Structure 1
Amino acid sequence: MSTARTRGILTAAAAIVLAASAISATAAAQAAGDNAAAGNHGDRNTALAHAFNGVDRNTHWQQTSKVKLNFPTFHTEGIAYSQDHIFLSAVQIIEPTVKFPTPQNGFDRTPGKGVGHLFVMDKGGNLQKDIVLGEGDMYHPGGIDFDGTNVWIPVAQYRPDSSAIIYRVDANTLEVHKQFEVKDHFGGIVMDKQTGHLVGNTWGSRRFAEWDLQGKQLSTWENPNYFIDYQDCQYVPSSRMLCSGITNLPQTAAAGGAGTTYELGGMAMIDLKSRNVIRDVPFQQWSTAGHVATRNPFKMTADGGHLTMKVAPDNGEEGNGTEILTYEATVTPAK
């Protein structure tokens, strides 16, 4: 290899490291100035953490609005809000995965085929851009998070113990950056704005991993909680993540539902320092198509003790299609 080419490769590598360091520094600097109402979650604004600690199973949630999306949304996964846009991730299934009788090459099913989408909308839910994400067998976008500048999206194979690409999308320019690849299916991600690190959760949210922005794995830990499988998460100051999710429980003949499942929905707040679940509560409100509201896309904001939750539980092919539902509740914030 020539000296000039070697110098060029080293220069490019240094540029990548500097860019990642700049993103991390920017994420930490934004913590003081973010506006929670716009979907940003600064580290000085701890209203959501305090308010969520006042939520319990008796909290009265009221659906206050719905926005119908008038374009094909396929199977929705995650949602995020910036100052100007709504971002919605979704997977379009072309060929479903098929379970193997016994695992093959470390996989329990075929890869299937599909297309990963990040839909960009205005605040009225009108489609502005369809960003296609993924490579090869990695076509399944998961839960997403907005850090004040970038939207972070994992796009994984649609099977456990596989692989994923971590993308960031500039919320203003909509420029797509492939940040790094990881081994395993990661179905959700947040940016910890105190550390500048990324935290992801695997298939069924059984395990968490933390990376720097160059993709170096810094730590992993097992999820100590089996209440729900997390589907979509968001960062909450300081160093917490708030997740929604679902558990499908089998029904018995006595309950009138033999051979069917019951969708138990819920939310959980996790401390990213102690790695413990601080609070988890069930959520049993239902969509037009009959799904529990916390089934997939989910984001929450707080104004004092007033909580506002945005969800989009229905697939594009179901009932009235995908609707973004708004639920509100007033609680006594924890001190």
Structure 2
Amino acid sequence: MLWPGNSSVRAQSSNESLAARFRKVTPESRWELIDTIRLGFNAHHTQGLVRVGEDFFLTAVEVKRWPKKYGQMKGKFDRDTGEGIGHLFRFNRDGVLLEDLRLGEGSIYHPGGLDFDGSALWVPVCEYRPYGPSIVYRIEAGKMKAEKAFEFDDALGALAFDKTTHTLLGGNWGSRGLYRWQVAGNGKVENAASPATPNPSFYIDYQDCHDAGEGMLLCSGLRNYAGADFGKPYPMGGLDLISTADLRPVHQLPVTLWAPSGRVMTSNPAWIEVSPHGLLAYFIPDDDEQAILYVYEIKLR
């Protein structure tokens, strides 16, 4: 492998935070593909990614039956729940599966983007439809045992943990609404009925978000654009650095990288970390047995 080993503390190779490094990245910055690792297991529909030490944690949904659209709205829902199984995979840097933790209850089976607070993972699991209920799990990374932190009456698609303020932040379906919860020292969430703040950024829908230091989050995502010149939807990817103070983006970067399948790299799981010379970016844009971990380096000096 060409990339560094232990990165449980992402900024340990530099005094700069991830937020500070990311601010230096522009559309002219060069992304170099330095490694590709095929996952040695069926990753199903990949969702969120974090790296802790030598290992990766990946959320995924195993769809048994895709949700079916209704002919007309039924209350606030435009589709049924479908059927599936939620997974939290732990795998090593060779793509070898180490553990598979099942997550969810009944119709709540769709895990989303997750984050690591220094000792535990925070994982949202929702119904596979907008506005459905969610369960938020707190999982000790070394034990892989899920503890239900709280239930929530919206479809949470991504969570991030701001270590500076000990705040959990989340986005609903497409991250059109953003939420904030204060977390006590014992890991308990104090305001589980948090109201939504409208997301002021529209060019991408956030899929995976992580703490970037300095009271900032780094969120990845995509949006499909249709146009007469394309013939089919054009997938646009991007990365947004967001201030946790007002939940507004402070540095936005289009990502023009695609897998051979045609999927944009920021389709779902994305993890960015500080490296000795800039940044390392990890993506798993494809699903099932075609899932590959792509590792890019962005050299900034």
Quote the residue 1:288 is aligned against: 260
Are the counterparts in 1 of residues 54 and 93 from structure 2 also a CA contact under 8 Å?
yes
Match of 1:214 among 173, 176, 189: 189
Query: Which amino acid in the other structure matches residue 165 of structure 1?
Result: I
Quote the residue 1:325 is aligned against: 294
Mapped to 1, the partners of 2:22 and 2:76 lie a distance apart of 40
Match of 2:213 among 211, 234, 237: 237
| Structure 1 stretches of at least 4 aligned residues deviating more than 6 Å after TM superposition | none
Match of 1:267 among 219, 235, 239: 239
Quote the residue 2:202 is aligned against: 226
Mapped to 2, the partners of 1:154 and 1:42 lie a distance apart of 26
Query: Which amino acid in the other structure matches residue 66 of structure 2?
Result: P
- The C-alpha deviation readout for 1:105-137, integer Å capped at 9, x for no partner, is 321111110100001112322101110000011
Are the counterparts in 2 of residues 298 and 312 from structure 1 also a CA contact under 8 Å?
yes
Q: Is 1:140 paired with 2:140?
A: no
Pair 287,106 (structure 1): closer, same or farther in 2 beyond 3 Å: same
Match of 1:72 among 42, 53, 78: 42
- In structure 2, runs of 5+ residues without a counterpart are 183-187
- The C-alpha deviation readout for 1:7-62, integer Å capped at 9, x for no partner, is xxxxxxxxxxxxxxxxxxxxxxxxxxxxx961435799642111111111111111
Mapped to 2, the partners of 1:237 and 1:208 lie a distance apart of 19
Moved more, 39-48 or 221-230: 39-48
Moved more, 149-158 or 207-216: 207-216
For residues 88-103 of structure 1, the aligned pairs below 5 Å read 88-103=58-73
Mapped to 2, the partners of 1:275 and 1:198 lie a distance apart of 12
Query: Which amino acid in the other structure matches residue 237 of structure 1?
Result: G
Mapped to 2, the partners of 1:122 and 1:304 lie a distance apart of 22
Question: What is the RMSD of the two structures over their aligned residues, measured on CA atoms?
Answer: 1.9
Quote the residue 2:7 is aligned against: 38
Match of 1:175 among 145, 165, 172: 145
Moved more, 41-50 or 304-313: 41-50
Are the counterparts in 2 of residues 47 and 304 from structure 1 also a CA contact under 8 Å?
no
Mapped to 2, the partners of 1:61 and 1:54 lie a distance apart of 13
Match of 1:301 among 232, 249, 273: 273
Query: Which amino acid in the other structure matches residue 171 of structure 1?
Result: A
Query: Could you state the TM-score of these two structures normalised by the residue count of structure 1?
Result: 0.82
Query: Which amino acid in the other structure matches residue 42 of structure 2?
Result: P
Larger radius of gyration: 1
Q: Equivalent residue of 1:138, what SS?
A: coil
Are the counterparts in 2 of residues 46 and 237 from structure 1 also a CA contact under 8 Å?
no
Query: Which amino acid in the other structure matches residue 38 of structure 1?
Result: S
- The C-alpha deviation readout for 1:221-250, integer Å capped at 9, x for no partner, is 110010100111111112111011111011
Are the counterparts in 1 of residues 67 and 82 from structure 2 also a CA contact under 8 Å?
yes
Pair 305,53 (structure 1): closer, same or farther in 2 beyond 3 Å: farther
Mapped to 2, the partners of 1:125 and 1:176 lie a distance apart of 23
Quote the residue 1:276 is aligned against: 248
Q: Equivalent residue of 2:285, what SS?
A: coil
Query: Which amino acid in the other structure matches residue 286 of structure 1?
Result: W
Match of 1:166 among 136, 141, 149: 136
Mapped to 1, the partners of 2:237 and 2:224 lie a distance apart of 9
Query: Which amino acid in the other structure matches residue 83 of structure 2?
Result: K
Deviation of 1:282 (Å): 0.6
Deviation of 1:91 (Å): 0.4
Residue identity over aligned pairs, in percent, reads 33
Moved more, 280-289 or 301-310: 301-310
Mapped to 2, the partners of 1:155 and 1:243 lie a distance apart of 18
Mapped to 1, the partners of 2:73 and 2:162 lie a distance apart of 35
Q: Equivalent residue of 1:49, what SS?
A: helix
Quote the residue 1:27 is aligned against: none
- The C-alpha deviation readout for 1:150-171, integer Å capped at 9, x for no partner, is 1111000111111111011111
Are the counterparts in 2 of residues 41 and 235 from structure 1 also a CA contact under 8 Å?
no
Mapped to 2, the partners of 1:157 and 1:291 lie a distance apart of 24
Mapped to 1, the partners of 2:126 and 2:59 lie a distance apart of 12
Are the counterparts in 2 of residues 39 and 301 from structure 1 also a CA contact under 8 Å?
no
Mapped to 2, the partners of 1:211 and 1:251 lie a distance apart of 39
Are the counterparts in 1 of residues 107 and 127 from structure 2 also a CA contact under 8 Å?
yes
